[in-house]
Amino acid sequence: MNRYDYVRPDTIADAIVALNSPGARALAGGTNLVDLMKYDVAAPDRVVDINRLPLKSIEISDGELRVGALISNSELAWHPDIRARWPLLSSAILAGASPQLRNAATTGGNLLQRTRCYYFYDTSTACNKRAPGSGCSAIGGVNRIHAILGASDSCIAVHPSDMCVALAALDARVEVEGPQGRRSIPFSGFHRLPGDAPDQDNTLNLGELITAVTIPEPDFGTHHTYLKIRDRLSYAFALVSVAAALRIEDGVIQDARIALGGVAHKPWRDFEAEQSLRGEAAETTAFEKVAGRILRDAKGQGENDFKIDLAHRAIVRAMEQAAAGTPQDQADKSIQ
């Protein structure tokens, strides 16, 4: 681990000044950044501890939820208003990590966590995300957990978050402040696909700080679910996950949201495929068809070819759960 400056600002303005340097990184819960530093994957020359900033509130106004960037995952998941009015978000958070990690991890940090690609963490191997231009060892290597959608010749890593998949489905927005002022980023535009610059995970500018996430109140009632398929039932990243929500009237789909995790460099939504469900009966035939549309361009890398069929079946199962109003129970984790 390299030597670095440690700064603890008391105001957002001071934090922005401290972060306005290419070698600066924000520290909140530290559940990802500290690991990266220990493995020499990240070597910041300045660590900006933001835990004193006033970003620890959960507010609901006019049906919109505003979550401060320093709210812990546990606090958010178990908040009574979140469980009652944004249950899809609560379910996704509880599907991830472990209770100990959720107690420390923050809302803003969850959005900024890096990939869990084996080669990204192994500094003896080539990785364009870690060392741009060095190559991608996962292509032609061990790639069982890697992307089947949106990948490039430079990177086939996947985004690891569960919470972010639900936020994508819920049309969240990311509120940021930086040297150029404040801006609000649609969640679909926050994370990036790898392209030829996989080291750039998101669209934050230099010096910008996530201050909150805002989410409109959904109108899906009980017609939602978060389904996570993984190698073991706890403390494991998704092979494929699906956040699904439907607005149904008289058995006919009026609106649909489908976000996938574990399949791409960012939470994956296909807006055209979702729109194709409008006016369709909320039945398995329609769900099979939309799964095929979402995965029409899916491509495996050998070891992860199985994820294409797995994703198809997961989408259909999640849509059936959502249509029936029987959300996946994250307590026992057995697939309903």
User: pLDDT tens, 99-151?
Assistant: 999 999 999 999 999 988 999 999 999 999 999 999 999 999 999 999 999 99
Task: Dump pLDDT digits (tens) for 63-94.
Answer: 999 999 999 999 999 999 999 999 999 999 99
Number of domains in the chain: 2
Establish if 237 belongs to a structural domain. Answer: yes
Establish if 25 belongs to a structural domain. Answer: yes
Sheet architecture: strand order including 240-249: 224-229, 240-249, 252-261, 268-269
Establish if 199 belongs to a structural domain. Answer: no
Establish if 158 belongs to a structural domain. Answer: no
Domain of 283, CATH number, reads: 3.30.390.50
Establish if 250 belongs to a structural domain. Answer: yes
Can you give the residue range of the structural domain that contains 20?
A: 5-51
pTM for the whole structure = 0.97
Establish if 164 belongs to a structural domain. Answer: no
Establish if 67 belongs to a structural domain. Answer: no
Domain of 19, CATH number, reads: 3.30.43.10
Establish if 255 belongs to a structural domain. Answer: yes
Cβ neighbors of 43 (< 8 A, separation 6 or more) are: 1, 2, 4, 37
Please name which of 188, 155, 328, 204 lies closest in space to residue 269, comparing C-alpha atoms: 188
Whether 283 shows a pLDDT value over 90: the answer reads: yes
